[in-house]
Amino acid sequence: MSLDRPARVHVVGNLCFDTTLVVPHFPRPGETSVAFESRVGLGGKGLNQAVASARAGADVLFYAAVGVDDVEKVLIVLSRDPRVMPMLTGLAFPTDSSTILVQQDGENAIVSAIACAQAFDPLQDGFADHLQAGDIVLLQGNLTAATTRACLAAAKARSAMTVLNPSPLFPVEDIGWDCVDLLVLNRSELATLSSRTDVEDGAKAMLKRRVGNLVVTLGGQGARAWWSGGAIAVEAPCVEVCDTSGAGDVFCGVLVAALLRGLDLPEALPQAVAAASRSVTRSGALASCPTEAELAVLARSPIGKQAS
């Protein structure tokens, strides 16, 4: 089937208002902690991944729901990344929000309110009509399992590649694994889904579910990937960690953009690792995403490298 237009990335997910608090440590039950710093901005896993993919060179359609009173405000912010085409639905709920706690060592903990994402059904708003063969569809875990499953099936029916990053992790037993071309997990998500603590054992268990390809991010240890042709491990460069918020989203967005350009998984993985490693040296989630110019440099000479 010939393409009517160049292939695009379709990110289906959430958008939220982020409040980030930098704290000495995560509070214990009953403890009140005083933050060193606070920041408020736009974020959400869906938006973070859409922006990262666009800055890495992809034309992106971003599907999300926001509170109807916030649509114009959100559109103004999104106009700063012109390669992201917002496909927003206004709903009678407060726009989703997240509170992000960041320790001084860069580790984070996040609590989100996702009423808009849980009520959002992009298929009712014509999501499938925008798809064609050669496109890539990227979803996370903020939508309901039923909606996620339906979007994946619609993408496969139109010969688009499907990428699932089920974070935050929801019960995915009902996901049609045959509709997932590439599954992206972090170490803890892999352990939960596979009931295996060893990464290699967990990967084998997931691949038995007929997931086409698997990527596992390992933080400062880089990432590993498994596909029909083999496996690869990519080391992360040694960097000074400031804030890990959003690093996984940068990874996913850059990975998908590289795949859209025609790179195979072993070629795309070092670029994603390099971009995520750059992001953790900065504060914020969306704010830490490397610029278009930085990602162009990393694409030519990624600092992630294949492990021996």
Residue 165 annotated as lining a ligand binding site: no
CB-based contacts of 206, cutoff 8 Å, min separation 6: 183, 185, 190, 193, 194, 214
pTM of the model: 0.92
Q: What per-residue confidence (pLDDT) applies to 2? A: 43
How many domains is the chain built from?
A: 1
Asked whether residue 13 is domain-assigned, the answer is: yes
Q: Report d(CA 206, CA 84) in Å as an integer.
A: 32
Residue 48 annotated as lining a ligand binding site: yes
Residue 248 annotated as lining a ligand binding site: yes
**Confidence band of 168 (pLDDT split at 50, 70, 90):** confident
- Angle (nearest 5°) at CA 202 between 199 and 207: 125
Q: What per-residue confidence (pLDDT) applies to 308? A: 46
Residue 213 annotated as lining a ligand binding site: no
**Confidence band of 128 (pLDDT split at 50, 70, 90):** very high
Residue 288 annotated as lining a ligand binding site: yes
Of 74-78, 132-136, 200-204, least confident by mean pLDDT is 74-78
Residue 59 annotated as lining a ligand binding site: no
**Confidence band of 163 (pLDDT split at 50, 70, 90):** very high
In this structure, what CATH number is given to the domain that contains residue 254?
Answer: 3.40.1190.20
User: Which member of 70, 125, 249, 264 is catalytic?
Assistant: 249
* The most confident of 156-165, 172-181, 282-291, by mean pLDDT: 156-165
| Residues 169-204 pLDDT 10s | 877 666 778 899 999 999 999 999 999 999 999 999
Q: Report d(CA 302, CA 275) in Å as an integer.
A: 8
| Residues 229-276 pLDDT 10s | 799 999 999 999 988 889 999 999 999 999 999 999 999 999 999 999
Asked whether residue 220 is domain-assigned, the answer is: yes
How crowded is the C-beta side of 106, counted as CA atoms within 13 Å? 17
Residue 221 annotated as lining a ligand binding site: yes
**Mean pLDDT (whole number) for 203-215:** 88
Q: Reply yes or no on whether 249 is catalytic.
A: yes
Burial of 118 (0-12, 13-18, 19+ CB in 10 A): middle
Cα 100 to the center of its chain, rounded Å: 16
Asked whether residue 165 is domain-assigned, the answer is: yes
Q: What per-residue confidence (pLDDT) applies to 1? A: 38
**C-beta atoms surrounding 37 within 10 Å:** 10
What average pLDDT does the structure give for the chain? 91
Residue 46 annotated as lining a ligand binding site: yes
Q: What per-residue confidence (pLDDT) applies to 12? A: 98
Asked whether residue 4 is domain-assigned, the answer is: no
Q: What per-residue confidence (pLDDT) applies to 174? A: 66
Asked whether residue 178 is domain-assigned, the answer is: yes
Residue 134 annotated as lining a ligand binding site: no
Asked whether residue 1 is domain-assigned, the answer is: no
Amino acid at position 91, single letter: L
| Residues 7-64 pLDDT 10s | 999 999 999 998 989 999 999 999 998 999 898 888 899 999 999 999 999 999 999 9
Asked whether residue 77 is domain-assigned, the answer is: yes
Asked whether residue 2 is domain-assigned, the answer is: no
Residue 158 annotated as lining a ligand binding site: no
Domain that holds residue 122: 9-27+35-306
Q: What per-residue confidence (pLDDT) applies to 172? A: 66
**Mean pLDDT (whole number) for 302-307:** 66
Q: Report d(CA 287, CA 279) in Å as an integer.
A: 9
How would you label 174-211 residue by residue, b for 16+ Cβ within 10 Å and e otherwise? ebebebbbbbbbbbebbbebbebeebeebbeebbebeb
